[in-house]
């Protein structure tokens, strides 16, 4: 159920990014002025311009340079990239402006909206971690899903930049909860050796949602428009709540469906097994005074922006650099996230495998973290020089695969360091730090990509060693960190 809602979570957050600039490539058969043809078709004018006759009966006039005259199925046609998407349909960008002006303005506006989303997301990471510790994962997930599902549906009423930003703030407040919630849920339901794998499944859910997002959102947009797409995708989480409440009745110790052997297996593998002292949980102040906390806080501050760089900017990158339309983006943009799903599962499994072989938690986690980084860096450098969309997305699959290989092990650290009510709090602090790092990169991307996307990849490559250094410096011996 947690994996399923993670998939839905990523579908919801991808709605704006994939419909922001949604150009459509259309072939118009060339016709004579007196010819009877099924629409759409184009008629070339004496001055060299073309009149494009749409299916809805409208006619637009464009210059020949706005498209490409070519042969299709043995007949002459005019291939035209029709500009579309939320940014155009809400009048946020002038469709008649030069391409370089449109590109810069569209990125600035998207960064602006995303920044508001991320700030709300970061605040919610802090609050949700504490709240989930207090009210439990069952009610915590319901609260988060209701907020973000309604927010996505309400986005269909957006009329401009202010209302779009407002609804994305609501989305961010709801969507952040499952991240500290999943860390807490995994700590409750899995013994130590299986937690990274469970976290990997959770991360794979996010990756699978990202795989599905370009295809589902693009097809919904093409067939129903952006308003209906927000309503449809937003409603999915609300439907999910019904089975969640039926299945997730209680924690393992009290759940009526769990067999005694399963219950004993889960509880005996907890780091506080046999401890009868009630864990009251550490405050944020106490956690911030603890050195090991910064392995999570700074590790995620530097590494998480890499994920959000691609989640936010991949559709824009493919459209701007390789001139892909919305259908072509749908066929390409899922590839990096397929790599991420594999990385999440394998990365989580790998550290557990090392522990089963007798290695300490410290060696298992750190080895997995370093291997992921060694996958990210060369792929990031190579992607900066990709000469085709296919090469770019395949290299990005390695980047995000390596990212997930590393991050699922960093995200597991709160459960390695602490028990009980402290886990969600530290996970929330790590999530808030991740958002702070992401907001900074969001503000930088429109500026550094104004001349070349090379600097986008350079920035991503620089973040990796900073994250790894933070984990190794602050974590110490993870095997000895059961501090509460």
Q: What is the CATH number of the domain that holds 256?
A: 1.20.1250.20
71 and 132 in a single domain? The answer is no
Whether 223 maps to a domain, the answer reads: yes
Dist CA 454 CA 390 (whole Å):
17
Cβ neighbors of 289 (< 8 A, separation 6 or more) are none
Compute the average pLDDT of residues 10-20. 91
pLDDT greater than 60 at residue 273: no
Residue pair 347/380 in contact (Cβ under 8 Å)? The answer is no
267 CB neighbour count, 10 Å cutoff: 16
pLDDT greater than 80 at residue 151: yes
147-167 as b/e, with b when 16 or more CB fall inside 10 Å? bbbbbbbbbbebeeeeebbbb
* Higher pLDDT, residue 404 or 253: 404
Compute the average pLDDT of residues 460-482. 88
What pLDDT is stored for residue 366 in this prediction? 94
Dist CA 22 CA 18 (whole Å):
7
- Give 347-367 pLDDT, tens digit per residue: 988 988 999 899 998 999 999
Strand order in the sheet with 75-82: 24-29, 75-82, 67-72
Whether 92 maps to a domain, the answer reads: no
Helix (H) or strand (E) holding 318: helix 293-322
pLDDT greater than 90 at residue 410: yes
Structural domain containing residue 68 = 24-82
- Percent of all residues in the chain with a pLDDT value above 90, rounded to a whole number: 44
Compute the average pLDDT of residues 273-287. 65
483: confidence class by pLDDT, cuts 50, 70, 90: very low
3-class secondary-structure state, position 28: strand
53 and 122 in a single domain? The answer is no
Dist CA 445 CA 179 (whole Å):
25
160 and 66 in a single domain? The answer is no
The total domain count for the chain is 2
* Nearest residue to 133 (alpha-carbon basis) of 283, 12, 352: 283
| Angle, helices 389-417/293-322, rounded to nearest 10 degrees | 170
52 and 123 in a single domain? The answer is no
Compute the average pLDDT of residues 429-451. 90
- Give 170-206 pLDDT, tens digit per residue: 999 999 888 777 777 777 767 766 766 776 777 777 7
45 and 120 in a single domain? The answer is no
| C-alpha dist (Å) from residue 361 to 351, 356, 413, 473, 481 | 8, 10, 10, 16, 10
Compute the average pLDDT of residues 152-179. 92
288 and 407 in a single domain? The answer is yes
225 and 133 in a single domain? The answer is yes
Whether 379 maps to a domain, the answer reads: yes
28 and 14 in a single domain? The answer is no
Whether 109 maps to a domain, the answer reads: yes
What pLDDT is stored for residue 84 in this prediction? 87
Compute the average pLDDT of residues 236-241. 93
Phi first, then psi, for residue 67 (nearest 5°) are: -145, -160
- Give 46-70 pLDDT, tens digit per residue: 888 888 888 878 888 888 888 888 8
What pLDDT is stored for residue 195 in this prediction? 67
pLDDT greater than 60 at residue 271: no
Whether 147 maps to a domain, the answer reads: yes
449: confidence class by pLDDT, cuts 50, 70, 90: very high
pLDDT greater than 70 at residue 280: no
Whether 320 maps to a domain, the answer reads: yes
366 and 434 in a single domain? The answer is yes
366 and 412 in a single domain? The answer is yes
Whether 94 maps to a domain, the answer reads: no
Whether 91 maps to a domain, the answer reads: no
Strand order in the sheet with 50-53: 41-44, 50-53, 59-62
């Amino acid at each position: 159920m947690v994996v399923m809602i993670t998939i839905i979570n990523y579908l919801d957050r991808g709605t704006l990014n994939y419909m922001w600039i949604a150009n459509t490539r259309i072939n118009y058969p060339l016709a004579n002025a007196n010819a009877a043809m099924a629409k759409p078709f184009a008629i070339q004018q004496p001055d060299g311009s073309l009149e494009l006759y749409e299916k809805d009966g409208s006619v637009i006039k464009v210059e020949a340079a706005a498209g490409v005259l070519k042969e299709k199925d043995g007949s002459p046609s005019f291939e035209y990239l029709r500009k579309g998407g939320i940014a155009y349909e809400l009048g946020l960008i002038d469709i008649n402006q030069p391409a370089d002006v449109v590109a810069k303005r569209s990125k600035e506006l998207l960064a602006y909206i995303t920044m508001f989303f991320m700030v709300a997301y970061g605040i919610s990471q802090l609050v949700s971690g504490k709240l989930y510790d207090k009210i439990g994962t069952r009610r915590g997930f319901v609260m988060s899903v209701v907020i973000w599902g309604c927010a996505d549906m309400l986005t269909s009423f957006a009329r401009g930049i202010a209302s779009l930003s407002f609804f994305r703030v609501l989305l961010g407040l709801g969507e952040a909860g499952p991240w500290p919630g999943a860390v807490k849920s995994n700590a409750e339901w899995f013994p130590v050796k299986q937690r990274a794998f469970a976290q990997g499944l959770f991360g794979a859910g996010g990756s699978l949602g990202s795989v599905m997002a370009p295809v589902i959102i693009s097809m919904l947009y093409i067939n129903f428009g952006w308003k209906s797409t927000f309503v449809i995708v937003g409603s999915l989480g609300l439907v999910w709540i019904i089975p969640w409440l039926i299945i997730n009745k209680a924690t393992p110790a009290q759940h009526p469906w769990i067999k005694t052997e399963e219950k004993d297996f889960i509880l005996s593998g907890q780091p506080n097994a046999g401890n009868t002292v009630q864990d009251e949980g550490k405050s944020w102040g106490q956690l911030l005074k603890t050195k090991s906390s910064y392995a999570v806080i700074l590790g995620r501050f530097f590494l998480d922006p890499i994920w959000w760089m691609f989640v936010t900017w991949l559709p824009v990158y493919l459209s701007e650099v390789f001139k892909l339309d919305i259908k072509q983006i749908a066929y390409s943009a899922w590839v990096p996230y397929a790599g991420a799903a594999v990385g999440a599962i394998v990365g989580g499994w790998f550290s557990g495998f090392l522990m089963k072989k007798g290695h300490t938690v410290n060696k298992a986690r750190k080895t997995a973290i370093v291997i992921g980084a060694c996958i990210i860096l060369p792929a990031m450098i190579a992607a900066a020089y990709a000469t085709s969309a296919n090469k770019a997305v395949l290299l990005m699959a390695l980047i995000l695969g390596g990212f997930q290989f590393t991050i699922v092990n960093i995200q597991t650290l709160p459960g390695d360091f602490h028990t009980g009510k402290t886990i969600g709090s530290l996970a929330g602090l790590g999530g808030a730090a991740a958002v702070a790092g992401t907001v900074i990169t969001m503000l930088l991307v429109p500026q550094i990509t104004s001349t070349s996307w090379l600097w986008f990849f350079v920035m991503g490559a620089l973040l990796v060693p900073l994250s790894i250094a933070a984990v190794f410096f602050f974590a110490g011996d993870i095997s000895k960190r059961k501090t509460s």
